[in-house]
């Protein structure tokens, strides 16, 4: 899976920009999409949005023993999901969804509920997901993104800064490394990222601040560190419509 967002949409941590000049120029969003399709010539698809986003996925129904890649769209909300939710059946009952709901569909519904009317903080909603997963959501209506990675480290996720300041996120290490040069790193496990709220930990809600080491493409820790606000400080996702007036996190503006 691949997601690319212009810098006006996503505001990644400053530490993601490597102070070391890359030996190879970063690719443009168009170039990254071409590289993705070249790596999956027979079963990939992509979509671009006027809001400054692009999503791409492999159109395959095959799955591994534990994990699968899924795509979902609903009311202008688009979700790329990789992994599994071990408590999916219980979550489906909790949210009152149909039994045929898969992981990507559930994450999409949960995000919409959280955005519009859920009384619970985002960290608690994500923490309730039991399994190994990585997901990326693009909300075309709000012009925002929401991404998260489980804390067990089983599912990979990488992000980096491409040409023109665009942010690229993918589970494919070679793709991000070849597109972003030195300005990329593994997405911190146990964290979530919102384009307006930044990078936050959902596993350590009692800590006011924790440093997430920046690890380069070879797994070597560098001097920089991602500064992750504790989930207890989450300002919340932006609300839309009538639900905006009673958000428990305050005014989204």
Going from N- to C-terminal start, the domains of the chain cover: 2-20+28-60+132-239
pLDDT, tens digit (0-9, with 9 covering 90-100), for 151-169: 998 999 999 999 889 999 9
pLDDT, tens digit (0-9, with 9 covering 90-100), for 198-230: 888 887 654 433 444 455 545 554 544 566 555
- Report the share of the chain in percent with pLDDT over 70: 74
Q: What is the mean pLDDT of the chain?
A: 80
The CATH number that domain 2-20+28-60+132-239 falls under is 3.60.20
Is pLDDT at 183 greater than 90 in this prediction?
A: no
Sheet holding 53-58, edge to edge: 44-49, 53-58, 2-5, 167-170, 158-161, 184-186
Residue 147 pLDDT grade (very low, low, confident, very high; cuts 50, 70, 90):
very high
Quick one: average pLDDT of 53-70?
77
Is pLDDT at 54 greater than 50 in this prediction?
A: yes
Unique residue bearing structure tokens 């530490």: 15
Residue 31 pLDDT grade (very low, low, confident, very high; cuts 50, 70, 90):
very high
Is pLDDT at 135 greater than 50 in this prediction?
A: yes
User: What is the predicted pLDDT for the residue at 211?
Assistant: 44
Has this prediction a pTM greater than 0.95? no
User: What is the predicted pLDDT for the residue at 220?
Assistant: 52
Is pLDDT at 89 greater than 60 in this prediction?
A: yes
User: What is the predicted pLDDT for the residue at 119?
Assistant: 65
pLDDT, tens digit (0-9, with 9 covering 90-100), for 32-53: 999 999 999 989 999 999 989 9
User: What is the predicted pLDDT for the residue at 178?
Assistant: 92
User: What is the predicted pLDDT for the residue at 229?
Assistant: 55
153: left (phi over 0), alpha (psi -120 to 50) or beta: left
pLDDT, tens digit (0-9, with 9 covering 90-100), for 119-133: 666 777 888 899 999
User: What is the predicted pLDDT for the residue at 66?
Assistant: 66
Quick one: average pLDDT of 78-96?
94
């Amino acid at each position: 899976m691949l997601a690319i967002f212009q810098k006006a949409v996503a505001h990644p941590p400053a530490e993601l920009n490597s102070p070391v000049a890359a030996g190879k120029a970063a690719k443009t969003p168009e170039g990254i999409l071409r590289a993705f399709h070249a790596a999956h010539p027979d079963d990939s698809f992509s979509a671009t949005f006027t809001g400054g986003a692009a999503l791409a996925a492999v159109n395959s129904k095959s799955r591994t023993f534990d994990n699968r890649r899924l795509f979902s769209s609903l009311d202008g909300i688009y979700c790329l999901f990789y992994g599994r939710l071990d408590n999916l059946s219980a979550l489906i009952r909790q949210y009152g969804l149909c039994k045929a709901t898969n992981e990507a569909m559930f994450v999409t519904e949960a995000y919409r509920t959280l955005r519009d009317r859920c009384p619970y903080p985002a960290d608690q909603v994500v923490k309730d997901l039991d399994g190994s997963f990585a997901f990326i959501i693009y909300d075309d209506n709000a012009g925002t993104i929401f991404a998260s990675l489980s804390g067990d480290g089983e599912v990979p996720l990488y992000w980096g800064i491409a040409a023109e300041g665009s942010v690229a996120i993918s589970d494919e290490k070679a793709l991000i490394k070849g597109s972003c040069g030195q300005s990329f790193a593994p997405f911190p496990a146990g964290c979530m990222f919102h384009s307006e709220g930044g990078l936050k930990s959902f596993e350590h809600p009692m800590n006011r601040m924790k440093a997430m080491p920046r690890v380069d493409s070879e797994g070597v820790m560098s001097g920089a560190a991602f500064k992750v606000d504790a989930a207890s400080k989450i300002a919340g996702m932006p609300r839309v419509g009538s639900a905006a007036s009673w958000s428990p996190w305050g005014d989204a503006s």
